[in-house]
Amino acid sequence: MKMEDVSLSSMDNSKMEGFAQEILSDLVEDACLGLCFEVHRAVKQGYFFMDDTDQESMKDFEIVDQPGVDIFGQVYNQWKNKECVCPNCSRSIAASRFAPHLEKCLGMGRNSSRIANRRIASGNNTNKSESDQEDNDDVNDNDWSYGAEKKAKKRKSDKVFLHSLKQPVLSNPNSPRRSKSMKHKND
């Protein structure tokens, strides 16, 4: 029991407890009455039974509780083990790895330009493409300014850019790419 160290002038503990119970009782009664009034109004206004539907419809939307299936009855890890064919490199990739792979494969997305910039910046001497010499200085700036410049140039430089992405893999042993993908890039 909690120690109450306040002087209770004319009421002792048991009376206090009784009083507290009384207050609680009043509050509960208020709650009950409130509910009754609400229900009564709803009945008389005609909206009390609104959320009841016929048995058949209730059955249709019942919560499903089976393994391997969500509460709507849909299979939710259906695509976990599927494999997709990449339209770019024609490899078969697992579904959950597909998006990041596409990002790198197509050379779009934040990470792929960062990786590409890093590779180019780490000094690729064997690359003879024209854009490379000009771009080397710009390459270390942040992604978006490099991208803006890219847009200003003509389409051709995009192709060259993609090429420079692929070639560095050959000569740079520190490429973040796994060796498996390197083999395929050489094809």
Partner 1 sequence: MRREMCFINMSKESQMRAAINQKLIEMGERERLKELLRAKLIECGWRDQLKALCKEVIKEKGIENVTVEDLVAGVTPKGRALVPDSVKKELLQRIRAFLAQHST
Q: In the complex, which residues of this chain contact partner 1 (CB under 8 A)?
A: 2, 4, 6-11, 15-17, 19-21, 23-25, 27-37, 39-40, 43, 48
Dihedral angle, C-alpha 168, 170, 171, 174, nearest 10 °? 80
**C-beta closer to partner 1: residue 12 or 56:** 12
CB of 31 to partner 1, least distance (A): 6
Closest CB 16 distance from partner 1, rounded Å: 6
Q: How far is the CB of 60 from partner 1 (least distance, A)?
A: 22
Nearest in space to 101 (alpha carbons), one of 117, 113, 116, 112: 112
State how far Cα 70 lies from the chain centre: 19
Residue 29 CB, shortest distance to partner 1, in Å, is 7
The answer to whether 149 and 141 are in contact (CB under 8 A) is: no
Which CB, 36 or 121, lies closer to partner 1?
Answer: 36
Q: Is the dihedral of CA 103, 109, 114, 117 positive or negative?
A: positive
24 vs 94, which CB is nearer to partner 1? 24
Which is closer to partner 1, CB of 37 or CB of 79? 37
Q: Would you say 14 or 66 has its CB closer to partner 1?
A: 14
- Report the 10 Å Cβ neighbour count for 96: 11
Q: Which residues have a Cβ under 8 Å from the Cβ of 186 and sit 6 or more positions away?
A: 170
CA-based nearest residue to 133, from 116, 120, 148, 145: 120
Q: What is the smallest separation between the CB atom of 41 and partner 1, expressed in angstroms?
A: 9
Show the tokens assigned to 12: 């002792």
